[in-house]
Amino acid sequence: MRQIVLDTETTGLNPRSGDRVIEIGCVELFNRRLTGNNFHSYINPERDSEEGALAVHGLTTEFLSDKPKFAEIASELCAYLKGAEIIIHNAPFDIGFLDAEFERLKLARFNQQVGAVIDTLVQAKEMHPGKRNSLDALCDRYGISNAHRALHGALLDAELLAEVYLAMTRGQDSLTMEQTDLSGPGSQEQAAAALPLAEIVVLAATAEELAEHEAMLDKLDKEAKGQCVWRAQTALSNIANA
């Protein structure tokens, strides 16, 4: 299955008042694997960004002045998206802007050009009711690093959302799980065995990280007057392994 994770940046919040798309980022998944066949473009919106939007994405009018206009990238974008299942966080926002851009060019609406649309914000609210479900919150929840995300960027956000989506749906063909009878003997073991195992990545601590860890233990040991639990546990482990 071909899926496209899509994100946009815009000059403001309302396409009906003339706000425009200034960046599009798309990440391709095929059978739940990143392919590297991504689409990214900055776009000259022929207008300034609102102050609030500029603070979010940092894309100035000067930076965008020599970038292609939407009409110049529309054909390539439509060809890239054609027939794919599209994954968007808060889909009505991005689709509303893209529909406005397509309407200016007398092109078919977004939903008519793609296979289907998955809104990860809707899914996240169903999975985590009452919790924060912004992209940053989901990155924290699923252990996905977004430390390099100082400002919003369409391609970077699409890459993060792709990781979030894969984490949210790991072990499921869809987010609507069928009811399964797990009361029979061995049923739970069979269900667990059916889940695909994620690749285990082991990262060794660097010398700098180890030094920071030891410094923290020294501080804890001093505050605990030599009774730091971590130091005691380490001593017991060393005795047991001697």
Residues with active-site annotation: 152
Which residue type is seen at 208?
Answer: E
d(Cα 105, Cα 71) in Å, to the nearest integer? 7
d(Cα 156, Cα 38) in Å, to the nearest integer? 11
Residues 101/74, Cβ–Cβ less than 8 Å:
yes
CB environment 127-151: b (16+ within 10 A), e (fewer): eeeeeebebeebbebeebebeeeee
d(Cα 170, Cα 182) in Å, to the nearest integer? 20
Written as six digits, the tokens of 166 are 């894969």
Backbone angles phi, psi at 42, to 5 degrees: -85, 150
